[in-house]
Amino acid sequence: MTQDQRRTRISRRRFLANGAALGAALSPAQVARAAVSGPEGAAAGMLPMPAMRDALPPRPSIEDPGRSLMDSGWRFHLGDIPMPEIRGHGWSYNSAKAGQAQGAAAMQYDDSDWPEVELPHDWAMAMPIEETANVSQGYRRRGFGWYRRALRLDPQDRGRYLEIQFGGIATNATIWFNGSVVAHNWSGYTSVYVDITDLARYGDDLNMIVVRVDAQSMEGWWYEGAGLYRHVWLVKRDATYIATDGIHADPRRGPGGAWTVPVTATLGNIGTRSAAVTIEATLIDPDGRMVATHTAAGTVPSLEPMDVALTLPVATPGLWSVDRPTLYTLRTRLIRAGRTVDERTLRIGFRTVRFDAATGFHLNDQPLKIKGTCNHQDHAGVGVAVPDALWEWRLRRLKDLGCNAIRFSHNAIATEVLDACDRMGFLVMSENRNFNTSPDYIAQLQWLVRRDRNRPSVILWSVFNEEPMQGTPAGYEMVRR
């Protein structure tokens, strides 16, 4: 080894730290400029990008017309804010009551000096690179953070079902709404749906959303980020409504080759009386032609969920495949007193999958070699707060490489990514994060399956990854459950 070689040799730790520092130095604006630079920019040493396109990517379909994006208007505080020490009987009494959260969770807490942030937001990307920090987390310390956001609801929203949907919070979180704890989050990869109907205020009487995030908690041995790193949505629905993730539509091929689409709608009702309703399901082909429509009636009790089911016959649909990902539109309407009060629009695909010990995987009865990758969700420059357009770029790059399958390692991925997988023709292994049979963690697995059960891209479910207990009697019993 020459003297120059000894002088330039660096350790793996230093190499990774330098790489992380380079990612931090690239701002989202620089990444965006590189994204449109084309091959010439790549040749000049910029980030490698696919060729420029003349058209915008397909606009995502509006699945739920009652949802509106709530990514702006958030205030953020880096670091924890201890709760005040409660003293005296009066203070102790009041603090134990609904709506009386203390400290930074209180309704009237002064957050005027907190900076505003736009979601998705990964605060760990702004943390310095430290040689003594955890290599698995990118040499960045994550810590704690707080978010607050005021919300004004129109007086006309009174009497409607209201919900806030958090796409993903890294990692553990406590959520308050108007001074009351409304949810705890035990995973950085599952969504959190919060029913705020009973606590909502209207007009100039503002609502306050508060989220305390504990990013010290780790679920993986990779970069996990910190904060509200996926989209947040506000949902407004009629008093009688279709529940979130409440449409199950799984196309089935019968013994004679004819297809059907069994449709089950899970309904809710916040009214004081039962509601007589009709469900109307309509299947539309890729050219906009109606293929089938059917209705079914039911009565939804007050404050109790109810399922209404029907079946659509489809003789010879176009099949979904990795080379031709044909998607049909399923529009499900909830009708009450002759008026549509809620609806969902899903993209579904007709396909069969099976594995054979001798010939391997078959898609639509044809053998297909699965050529896939394992992908984590972080990206240089943005951490885990990956813009939807950047995800679409990554998937296009994988297609260019000949990839037809993805295992999202090792957790639930954002719904916007799965939308693109359905549209672009990827086979997906949808993976659970925590191998644990306690109620909180079983609920995470149930949420994953319920959310992704209609997708043609999802062909496999994974309950764990590389678990030391997987070959033990205890591991066997856990999987059985």
Query: What pLDDT is stored for residue 436 in this prediction?
Result: 87
- Evaluate if residue 143 carries a pLDDT over 50: yes
475: CB partners within 8 A, 6+ apart: 467, 469
Terminal alpha carbon distance of the chain: 58
The arithmetic mean of pLDDT across residues 427-448, rounded, is: 92
User: How many Cα atoms within 13 Å fall on the side-chain side of residue 134?
Assistant: 15
User: Boundaries of CATH 2.60.40.10 in the chain?
Assistant: 247-348
Q: Determine the residue type at 63.
A: E
The arithmetic mean of pLDDT across residues 139-148, rounded, is: 96
Query: What pLDDT is stored for residue 14 in this prediction?
Result: 53
The arithmetic mean of pLDDT across residues 367-379, rounded, is: 95
CB atoms within 10 A of CB 82: 7
Query: What pLDDT is stored for residue 36 in this prediction?
Result: 43
Chain position carrying tokens 């790549």 = 42
- Evaluate if residue 44 carries a pLDDT over 90: no
Query: What pLDDT is stored for residue 10 in this prediction?
Result: 46
Confidence (pTM): 0.88
- Evaluate if residue 95 carries a pLDDT over 50: yes
- Which tops the pLDDT comparison, 25 or 130? 130
Tell me: domain 247-348, CATH 2.60.40.10, correct? yes
DSSP code, position 403 = -
The arithmetic mean of pLDDT across residues 319-333, rounded, is: 98
Task: Compute the C-alpha angle 91/93/96, nearest 5°.
Answer: 105
- Contact criterion met (CB below 8 Å) for 380 and 413: no
- Contact criterion met (CB below 8 Å) for 442 and 481: yes
Query: What pLDDT is stored for residue 57 in this prediction?
Result: 61
- Contact criterion met (CB below 8 Å) for 241 and 161: yes
Indicate the class that CATH gives domain 370-480.
alpha beta
Burial of 337 (0-12, 13-18, 19+ CB in 10 A): exposed
User: Boundaries of CATH 3.20.20.80 in the chain?
Assistant: 370-480
Cis link prior to 120 (omega < 30° from 0)?
yes
Cis link prior to 248 (omega < 30° from 0)?
no
Q: What is the spatial distance between Cα 475 and Cα 377, in angstroms, rounded to a whole number?
A: 27
Instruction: Tell me the helix, strand and coil percentages in the chain, rounded to 5.
Output: 20, 35, 45
CATH topology of domain 67-237: Jelly Rolls (2.60.120)
Query: What pLDDT is stored for residue 467 in this prediction?
Result: 83
Handedness of CA 407, 412, 417, 420 (dihedral sign): positive
- What are the DSSP calls for 208-265, one per residue? EEEEEEE-S---SSS----EE-S-EEEEEE-SEEEEEEEEEE--EE-TTS-EEEEEEE
Convert the pLDDT of each residue in 48-81 to its tens digit: 556 666 665 666 667 899 999 999 999 999 999 9
402: CB partners within 8 A, 6+ apart: 371
